[in-house]
Amino acid sequence: MNTLTWVLKRDMLLAMRRKSDVLTTLFFFVIMTSLFPLGVGPEPQLLKAMGPGVVWVAALLASMLSLGRLFAADHADGTLEQMLLAPESLALIVLGKTLVHWIASGLPLVLIAPFLGLQFGMNGDALWVLVASLLLGTPVLSLVGAIGASLTLGLRGGGILVSLLVLPLYIPVLIFGAGAVDASTSGLGAQGHLSILGALLVLALLATPMASAAALRISLE
Amino acid sequence: MLEARQLACMRGDRLLFSEIDLHLEAGGLLHVRGPNGSGKSSLLRMLCGLILPEAGDITWQGQNIRKNEDYFRSLTYLGHQNGIKEELSAIENLRITCGLAGFDIDERTAFDALERIGLEGREALPAKVLSQGQRRRVMLARLLVAETPLWILDEPLVALDTDAIGFMRSLFELHLEKGGMMILTTHQELEIAALTTREIRFNS
């Protein structure tokens, strides 16, 4: 097996043995989106207008909240240091870790999103577009977030710092993600927005693992 | 052959050490000694490429160790931390660390290594139920299966009992006898037979 397979196997095993981590992110997402209809009242037009934005902002926050787990535990027990010494490229290892992180923290959000969309009165088409936009967008959040997580590794108050670093970078994903659902409900078609999200994903896949790897080397020095 | 010339290390704005020269050939042992905080671990991490030297350079077979894949295939570094995951069993930990270090071992080999290092019957337990010394053994079991010529070990004997220390000593001697190289820090008095023994002594 090569290094990437070992990283995937290792992190999947760890994720399976720490199911509570997956569940907390998911519940945060559910509670966060459910608070809005309770707060602003059950006005159908209002909820329909707010829905995509609320679901997307909640996904952003949930994904950011889970970033702390990406490298922190491995940093604390010294396994990250060993990964830095692996003969294969560190960027590949980071990519593997980020992928599993997305499967454990992003994919569950995508799967539950249609049910949350129903709370906001979204109909069939809009729900599909919501799922598609989250499917393309949440991996970007994990990939970009990995840079922030590696830069703030081992710092005091790293959690707040990571949100200040990463949230501004999430803005394009938020605009095109929520925009896709809006465009679909207003009959414009979501294809343009989804294409841009796809392009962002490709760009993030190519560029961010190397940036995170470089940041990790600096953080561990 | 590992060689370093005129190494210097800054931590923050403090100069930890400077003008360190070292040279290690097949069968050689380098003992790094000094009080706590004198820079032993920093020197070892620098030799692994984890810290960039402030000055000087480090070469492996004449090539700089930066981005040198051959070097990282030849190196086993064991640091302060055990580098094992508490949620994984001893056997999973061993197989995964070896896999990430670039060589695969099968379950049988991992099992044998753990048995030899004194973890018989505990191979499948999650590492969090093991004692400190037993966790250390899981980490050290990698030395039984790694076929790397260069070992850099930072306080490998911490938390081990006398039997285990004796076992590790004979393992070190076997490695050096076979032409391996070793760089070691330890506060224990340990006599290790080697072809050449060098010492670097840090003052506080």
Q: By 3-state DSSP, what share of chain B in percent is helix, strand and coil, each rounded to 5?
A: 35, 30, 40
Q: How far is CA B13 from the centre of its chain?
A: 28
Task: State the DSSP H helix or E strand holding residue B113, giving kind and residue range, or none if neither.
Answer: helix B107-116
Mean pLDDT score, A112-122: 91
Confidence of residue A175 (pLDDT cuts 50, 70, 90): very high
Do residues B74 and B148 make contact, with C-beta atoms less than 8 angstroms apart? yes
Give the per-residue pLDDT at A156: 80
> How many A×B Cβ pairs under 8 Å?
73
Q: Residue B82 and residue B104: Cα distance in Å, rounded?
A: 20
CB of B49 less than 8 A from some CB of A = yes
In terms of residue numbers, what domain contains A188?
Answer: 2-220
E runs forming strands in B113-167: 150-154
Nearest residue on chain A to B97, judged by CA atoms? A82
**pLDDT at position B193:** 84
**Backbone φ, ψ for residue B75 (5° rounding):** -110, 135
Q: Which of B172, B179, B113, B171 is nearest to B149 (CA)?
A: B179
Among A108, A61, A98, residue whose Cα is nearest residue A207? A98
pLDDT computed for residue B182 by the predictor: 94
Give the CA-trace dihedral at A10, A12, A16, A18, to 10 degrees: 70
**For chain B, domain boundaries:** 2-201
Residue A158 in this model has a pLDDT that exceeds 80: no
Q: How far is CA A119 from CA A46, A138, A199, B81, B130, in A?
A: 12, 21, 30, 48, 48
Residue B108: per-residue pLDDT: 92
Which residue of B lies nearest to A4 if distances are taken between CA atoms?
B100
pLDDT of residue B204: 65
Q: Is the pLDDT of residue A69 over 80?
A: yes
Question: Is residue B83 within 8 Å of residue A220, measured between CB atoms?
Answer: no
* Chain B residue numbers touching A94 (CB-CB < 8 A): none
pLDDT of residue A193: 94
pLDDT at residue A160, rounded to an integer:
86
Beta bridge partners of B153: B78, B184
The SS3 assignment for A122 reads coil
Residue B135 or A2, more confident: B135
Chain A positions touching B150 (Cβ under 8 A) are none
B52 chain-A contacts, CB cut-off 8 A = 221
- Cβ of A87 within 8 Å of Cβ of B73? The answer is yes
pLDDT digits over A180-191, tens only?
998 988 888 889
**Nearest beta carbon to residue B100 from set A13, A18, A86:** A86
Would the CB atoms of B52 and A221 count as touching at under 8 Å?
Answer: yes
Q: What are the Cα distances from residue B27, in Å, to B2, B61, B150, B178?
A: 12, 15, 10, 7
Distance CA A48, CA A117 (A): 9
- Only one residue has tokens 């329909």, namely A48
CB contact under 8 A, A3 and B102: yes
Name the DSSP letter for residue B123.
T
pLDDT (average), residues A47-59: 92
Residue with tokens 């670039």: B102
Domain B2-201 superfamily per CATH: P-loop containing nucleotide triphosphate hydrolases (3.40.50.300)
Place of tokens 């800054």: B10
Quick one: average pLDDT of A136-145?
A: 96
- Contact across the interface for A13 and B88, Cβ inside 8 Å: yes
A20 touches chain B (CB under 8 A): no
Whole-number average pLDDT of chain A = 92
Kindly identify which residue of chain A lies nearest to residue B53, measuring between CA atoms: A221
pLDDT of residue B38: 87
Q: Would you say the C-alpha torsion A84, A86, A91, A93 has a positive or negative sign? A: negative
Determine, for residues A7 and B100 on separate chains, whether the beta-carbon distance falls below 8 Å. yes
What does the angle CA A65 – CA A33 – CA A138 come to, to the nearest 5 degrees? 50
Q: Which of residues 71-100 of B touch A (CB under 8 A)?
A: 72-73, 75, 77, 79-88, 92, 96-97, 99-100
ipTM rounded to 2 decimals: 0.90
pLDDT at A40 over 90: no
Whether A4 contacts chain B with CB within 8 A: no
Rg (CA), chain A: 18
Q: Which residues of A touch B49 (CB under 8 A)?
A: 85
| Numbers of helices and strands, H then E, in chain B | 6, 9
Tens-digit pLDDT profile for residues B108-165: 999 999 999 988 888 889 999 999 999 999 999 999 998 899 999 999 998 899 999 9
Total domains in the fold of chain A: 1
Quick check: A3 and B104 CB within 8 A? Answer: no
Overall pTM surpassing 0.80 (yes/no): yes
At B149 the pLDDT is 94
Give the helix ranges, DSSP H, for A66-157: 68-77, 79-84, 90-105, 107-119, 124-151
Compute the distance between CA of residue A138 and CA of residue A129 in angstroms, rounded to an integer: 14
Q: What is the mean pLDDT of each run of 10 residues along chain B (204 residues)?
A: 90 87 92 89 92 92 89 92 92 93 90 91 90 92 92 92 91 93 88 85 80
Q: Which amino acid is at A149?
A: A
How many Cα neighbours within 13 Å face the side chain of B190? 27
β-pair type (B2-11, B55-60):
antiparallel
Which 8-state DSSP code applies to residue B187?
S
Judge contact between B87 and A17, C-beta under 8 A: yes
Strands (E), chain B: 2-11, 14-24, 28-33, 55-60, 63-64, 75-78, 150-154, 181-185, 196-201
